[in-house]
Amino acid sequence: MKPLAMIPWFPGTNCHHEMARAFEASGARVEIVQYTKLLNHTVSLTEADLVGLAGGFSFGDHIRSGAIAACDLVWLLRDQLEALRARRIPILGVCNGFQIMVEAGLLPGDGKIGDHAAVLDTNLSGRFEHWTQIPIYFRHDGCVWTNGLDGVSFTLPVAHGEGRLVPAASPDYHVVATYGSLAGDANKSPNGSPIAGICSPDGLVMGMMPHPERRIDKLRGGEQGLAIFRAGVGAVS
């Protein structure tokens, strides 16, 4: 049986169908789960082989991007998050999904769930940046989602208002994606940070601001984004 990828849907999430298509094209079954079903335990994330947190504007980005969704995960679904960790389930967060991960303490991923060690802050430009393509440079560093991509670069779209990782540098960051060069170039970043994506120390949880799910079709900019989803699905197949 194909592995099951679950994608929680929060009010304001709007990239879940694109992420679902990417997982399906990579060989997974997909279930998009309304988050209230998680809260009332109709469905549990523990049933998943993979979890994807999609982009959008969960809860209207009130307080901070991803903050309210993260509070629900930490305070109401902590048992499910702990079970995912215990079962070593790979988790991918894209854009708002990455913001939720950071707010929930899933990333940088070196502490307890709920510990808040970083934030994705407002772009230095002070505005929402929407670039149709920007070169992203990847490294493996033990991350299941970038397996086979060490030293590889390809273009992806970005679209966010809060994507600048703060603090700017930390020994806790396992950087697996950068803007501009493999070393990272803040001057070629849409938000002022050279970091496009980080992974947890165990290699299972990755968050990134660029949108790989928007590059899965030859007729819509190319299929390069599928490499990330295929790596994740391959890790549990």
Find the catalytic residue in 18, 103, 129, 213. Answer: 213
Q: Is 162 annotated as catalytic?
A: no
Find the catalytic residue in 140, 160, 174, 211. Answer: 211
Q: Is 223 annotated as catalytic?
A: no
DSSP 206: E
Gap between the Cα atoms of 86 and 95, Å rounded: 25
Phi, psi (deg, nearest 5) at residue 197:
-165, 150
Gap between the Cα atoms of 223 and 5, Å rounded: 20
Asked whether 84 and 46 are in contact (CB, 8 A), the reply is yes
Residues 6+ apart with CB under 8 A from 108: 102, 117, 118, 170, 172, 173, 174, 198, 200, 201
Asked whether 157 and 89 are in contact (CB, 8 A), the reply is no
Place of tokens 């079903």: 37
* 114: alpha, beta or left? (left if phi > 0; alpha if psi -120 to 50): left
User: Tokens in use for 162?
Assistant: 């809060």
Find the catalytic residue in 15, 16, 95, 103. Answer: 95
User: Tokens in use for 177?
Assistant: 């994606």
Q: Is 130 annotated as catalytic?
A: no
Catalytic residues: 95, 211, 213
